[in-house]
């Protein structure tokens, strides 16, 4: 089972199967749909003030037609035109290398990620989806508080997660709600059977979602 995380520039997107290519299409569309808001924050200087870096993934090609998805650190934005610096090691291309400056347009963007100095990520829907697909299963974390005989569950999103494994944007709200319901029933059963829980003290638990079968546990 995978707890999704990792640094953006470590993600690779080449040599994928047709099945995986079809699987990630919705996540590419999600990245494209959310990028205008990210661009707006970049232009406003928000990420500089927050000491965070904006990276995007685009497809580059050599003259012979060889293609590869690469990560670029965005260094300049002029309308719908951008300049970026290649920040990952090139695997297949011969005409590009890490550190090269590349100009690209907004419609070339297939993925985006905002990263801080500790590697915490916002976005990266495509990268996280590929990791989840490779693993099959992902952990979905919740904070739990026991009060007056009832359990309160809170999904640990990117802003509140205690672990670098946020699945924001790749696990649907329906799946999160289903896991919330199942985990709540499980812990209520444990309490009825005599297990003790400290009043008002948060603890953490997780459910499991299988990307390939759609199965959820518990």
% residues pLDDT > 90 (the chain): 67
Average pLDDT over residues 134-160: 89
Whether the per-residue pLDDT at 13 is higher than 70: the answer is no
The secondary structure of the chain in percent helix, strand, coil, rounded to multiples of 5, reads 30, 30, 35
Task: Cis check for the bond before 38: say yes or no (omega within 30 of 0).
Answer: no
Instruction: Find the length of the chain.
Output: 218
Q: How far, in Å, CA of 118 to CA of 52, rounded?
A: 10
The predicted structure's pLDDT at residue 4? 36
Q: Write out pLDDT tens, residues 98-107.
A: 999 999 999 9
Strands (E), the chain: 53-61, 67-78, 81-86, 101-105, 111-115, 121-123, 137-147, 150-155, 203-210, 216-217
The predicted structure's pLDDT at residue 26? 92
Q: Write out pLDDT tens, residues 43-87.
A: 999 999 999 999 999 999 999 999 998 999 999 999 899 999 999
Q: Where are the domains of the chain?
A: 8-133, 136-217
The predicted structure's pLDDT at residue 15? 56
Q: Does residue 112 or residue 19 have the better pLDDT?
A: 112
For the whole model, what pTM was predicted?
0.79
117 band by pLDDT with thresholds 50, 70 and 90: confident
3-state secondary structure 88-105: CCCCCCCCCCCCCEEEEE
The predicted structure's pLDDT at residue 151? 97
């Amino acid at each position: 089972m995978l707890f999704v995380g990792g640094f953006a520039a470590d993600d690779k997107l080449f040599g994928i199967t047709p099945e995986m290519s079809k699987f990630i299409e919705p996540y590419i569309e999600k990245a494209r749909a959310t990028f205008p808001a990210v661009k707006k924050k970049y232009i406003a200087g928000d990420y500089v003030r927050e000491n965070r870096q904006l990276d995007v993934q685009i497809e580059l090609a050599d003259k012979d037609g060889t293609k590869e998805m690469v990560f670029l650190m965005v260094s300049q934005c002029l309308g719908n035109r951008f300049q970026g610096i290649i920040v990952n090691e090139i695997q297949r291309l011969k005409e590009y290398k890490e550190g090269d400056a590349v100009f690209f347009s907004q419609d070339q963007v297939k993925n985006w990620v905002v990263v801080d100095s500790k590697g915490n990520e916002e976005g990266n829907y495509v990268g996280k989806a590929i990791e989840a697909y490779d693993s099959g299963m992902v952990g979905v974390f919740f904070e739990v508080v026991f009060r007056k005989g009832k359990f309160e569950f809170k999904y640990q999103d990117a802003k509140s997660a205690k672990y670098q494994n946020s699945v924001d944007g790749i696990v649907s709200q329906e799946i999160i709600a289903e896991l919330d319901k199942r985990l709540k029933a499980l812990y209520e059963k444990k309490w009825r059977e005599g297990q003790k829980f400290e009043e008002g003290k948060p603890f953490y638990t997780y459910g499991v979602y299988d990307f390939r079968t759609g199965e959820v546990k518990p």
